[in-house]
A and B are shown apart, each in its own frame.
Chain A
Amino acid sequence: MKNLLKKKTTRTDFLTYLGVIVVFVIMFALQQGDMLKNSTQGMLVPVCCFVVMAVSLNLTVGILGELSLGHAGFMSVGAFSGIIAAMSLEQTIPSDLARLIIAIVVGAICAAIAGFIVGVPVLRLQGDYLAIVTLAFGEIIKELINCLIVGYDENGLHVMFNLSGKLSVENLNMTENGVAIIKGAQGAVGVDKLATFPMGFVLVMLCLVIVLNLVRSRTGRAILSIRDNRIAAESVGINVTKYRLMAFVISAAMAGSAGALFGLNYSTLSSTRFDFNTSILVLVYVVLGGLGNIWGSIIAAVVLYVLPEALREFNDYRMLAYAVVLILVMLATNNERFKAAPSRVIPKRRKGAAVNG
C-alpha cells in the first residue's frame, strides 16, 4: 500500500476519492441534522449531476482530445428515457430506490446507444468538424423530443411522433388509467421526484472509479496516445477508431446517467433545458477545471453551479458578477504574471514559489 501511494498519479486519484467522500459525509450529516439552508439542500442533487457531466465530458475533451459541443444532448436522452422508465414501472416496482436505479441504468444505456450511433460516423471526423456535428446532434435531440408524446397505461407504453404538430396526448388512445409522461413541447410533467443526494454521491463515485481506472489502464494509455499523436499511435498498431469510440460511448453513457438523475429531481422537465448553452456550460466546467484534470472538473462544476445562486445578493448584476468571477479564475489559474502578483507583494514567498512552481 505504501509503495502504491508513492506513485504521484495514484496518490492524486486516492485524494480525489477521499475528498469526494469527506465532502459527502459532511454534507449528508448536515442534511440529516437539518442544518443546511433550503437553497443549499436544493442544490445537492443537481450539483452531483453536473459533476458527473463535467467528469464525463472531460473524458471526451480532456483525455480523448476531441471537442464535443453536444454533451447536453446525451444528458437529454438519458433524462427522458430515465423518466419514461421510472414512470412506466410505477405500478410494477413500488420501491423508489429500485426504480431510480433502473432509471439511471436505462438512461445510461439509451445515451450509450445514441453515443454509438452518433460516434460511428462522427469519429471519422476530427477537430472542428467533429465539434460541428456534435453541436448539430444536440439540436436534433432537442427537436426530436419536442415532437415526442409518450404515455403509459395497463396495455403498455404508447409512443407517438407529433411531426405535423396537430397531435396531442388524446391521440395516444390510452385507457382511463393512462398517464401522460411526455407531452411534446411541454416536456415531461408530473414526474415523481425520486432522486436523492446519496444516489448522486454513488453516481459521482462510480463515474470517478470508471474514468480514473480507465485512464490509468492500458486502454487509457492508448486513448491518451491517440490524443497526443494520432499518426504515431496508428503506427504502433493502436486501433484508433475502436479506442475513440470506446471513450466517446462511455462518456455518453455517464452523461445519460447524470441526465436520468437530474430529470427525476424535478416534477417537470422540458427538452429546451438541454440546449446548446447547457453543453457550453459543461464545457466551461471542464476547461476551467483543467483539460484531463478530473478533480479540477469536480471542483469547477461545484463552484460554478453554486456561484450563480450564491450571487443572488447582486440581483440584476448576478450574471455580470458571475462573468467577472469566471475571468478572474481563468487569470488566476493560467496567467503567469497574474499568478506572480502575490509573490511580488510578499517577497518571502517568491523563493519558495520559484522552487516549487
Chain B
Amino acid sequence: MKKKSVLAAAMAGAMCMGLLAGCGGKGGDTADGNTFKIGTIGPLTGDNAIYGNAVANGAQIAVDEINALGGDIQLSLKAEDDVAAADTAVNAYNTLKDWGMQVLVGPTTSGSSIAVASEANADRMFMLTPSGSSADITEGKDNVFQVCFTDPNQGTAAADYISTNMPDSKIAIIYQNDIDYSQGIRNTFAAEAEEKGLEIVSEGTFTADTATDFSVQLTAAQAAGADLLFLPIYYQEASVILNQAKTMGFAPTVFGVDGMDGILTLPGFDTSLAEGVMLLTPFSADAEDEKTQNFVSEYQDRFGEIPNQFAADAYDAVYIVYEGLKAAGCTADMSYEDICEALVGQITTMSFDGLTGADMTWEATGEVSKAPMAVVIKDGAYVLP
C-alpha cells in the first residue's frame, strides 16, 4: 500500500512539474534578430494527415525559398499536430503561442479553423488559413483571412459556370450529407441553380458509412434522364462513383469542385475513368507557368509526391504573409498584436499573384476574391476547356 501511494505521489509530482515548467515564461521566447516566427496547425497524424502534411510541406518550401533570398525578413516555421479536432487545435495554438508565434498560417481543416479563429481574434493574432473553407471561420473576425474559396462561393461558382456553358443540362447531384463541406456546397449550388433556371432532376445523398456503394443514387439519376452529374464531394468517393457509373453504362458529364482535385494521383485508380471530368480547382499541378513548375518539381524532389491544392494554398499563404510584412515594414521584434494590426491594414489593400490564382484581393470580411478556374481531365492531365 505504501509503495502505491509513493508511486501516486511521484506521478502527481511529475504532473505538477510538467504543468509548472513554464512558470514565468508566458509569451514564450522573444524573436531573435530579424526572424519572424510563423506557426501552422494541421492534422499531421490520423485520418486526415494527408492534408495537414501537405500544408506543412508547402509552407516549409515557401519559408525556405524566402530565407534563401537573404532579405531583411527571415522566417522560421513550426507545425503542430491537431488530428483535425477542434479542441486539440486550440491546444496546438496555445503551444505555438508559448513558442513565440507572431503570425498563424493555419489551421488546415474547417472545424479547427473555426475554434482557433475565435482564440486568435481574442488574442489579436493575425491568422490566415490556407485551406479552411467554411464561411464561419472569418465571420465577425476582422483579423482572420482565407486563401481558399469558401464553400458557398464554390457552389455558386459551379452553378454559374454550368449556366453559362451548359445551360440546358439535366443535373443530378450526389453529395455527402454528414460533412459540412459537401452539404454547404450543395446548398448554395441548389440555390444558385434555381436562380439561374437550371434544372435539377435528381438528388442522392450518402454518409461516410455508406460511401462504398452508389448504385441506388446512380440508378435514380439515370432514370431521371440526367446528363450532368454534379459531385461536390472528395475524390475517394468520386472514384467509386465514376467506376460504378461506367459499369452501369451511365455516361453523364461529371462536374466536381476542389475536393475532386487529387483523383488522378489516387493509388490504384484507373485514370481513364476520369476522362472528361470537369472540375473547379484553384490549382493544377500540370499548369505550365514557371512558378507552378518550380514548386511542383521542388515538392517532388523533397517529398516524393505531386503537391495537391492544400500544399499550394499553404505556399501562397506564406508568401502573402511575407509580402504583407515587407509592405507594412514590420520588424521581427514587434509583438504579435502590432504585426496583426499592420497586416490587417495591409492585406485588404494589396493584390497578390500566386499558384492558386492571380490578382487575389481580400475584403475586410476575410474572404478572398479570385477567379475560379475550371479544368477538364484529358489523357490523365488537367487542361483548360
Contact = CB atoms under 8 A, between A and B. Distances in A.
B51 to A, nearest CB: 15
B216 interface: no
Given A186-B134, A190-B136, A353-B3, A268 B86 contact: yes
A265 B203 CA distance: 37
A192 to B, nearest CB: 10
B94 interface: yes
A137 B153 CA distance: 37
B85 interface: yes
B1 A356 contact: yes
Given A30-B23, A37-B98, A190-B136, A165 B205 contact: yes
Interface string B1-24: 111100110011011101111111
A115 to B, nearest CB: 24
A209 interface: no
Contacts of B87: 46, 262, 265-266, 273
Contacts of A170: 187
Contacts of B183: 165, 168, 184-186
Contacts of A30: 20, 23
B45 A319 contact: yes
Interface size class of B (residues with CB under 8 A): 35 or more
B19 A27 contact: yes
A268 B95 contact: no
A82 to B, nearest CB: 15
Contacts of A117: none
A309 B95 contact: yes
B324 interface: no
Contacts, number: 142
A139 to B, nearest CB: 10
Contacts of A353: 2-3
B98 to A, nearest CB: 5
A41 B97 CA distance: 12
A93 interface: no
B294 interface: no
A338 to B, nearest CB: 11
Contacts of A166: 177, 203, 205
Instruction: Identify the 9 closest CB pairs spanning chains A and B, nearest first.
Output: A165-B177, A37-B22, A267-B118, A186-B180, A356-B2, A42-B94, A165-B205, A38-B94, A268-B114
A184 B184 CA distance: 11
Contact of B25 (A37, A43, A146, A265): A37
Interface of A: 19, 23, 26-27, 30, 34-43, 46, 146, 162, 164-166, 168, 170, 183-187, 189-190, 193, 262, 265-270, 273, 295-296, 299, 302-303, 306, 309-310, 312, 315-316, 318-319, 329, 332-333, 339, 352-353, 356-357
A189 B136 contact: yes
A117 to B, nearest CB: 24
Which among A266, A310, A318 has the highest number of chain B CB atoms within 10 Å? A266
Contacts of A36: 19, 22-23, 26
B340 interface: no
A262 B81 CA distance: 21
Contacts of A266: 86-87, 90, 115
A315 B53 CA distance: 12
B44 interface: yes
Given A35-B24, A41-B94, A186-B180, A303 B111 contact: no
B115 A273 contact: no
Nearest to A317: B45
Contacts of B140: 190
B80 A189 contact: no
Given A185-B183, A186-B183, A318-B81, 8 more contacts: A36-B19, A39-B94, A42-B93, A186-B136, A189-B136, A266-B87, A268-B136, A299-B12
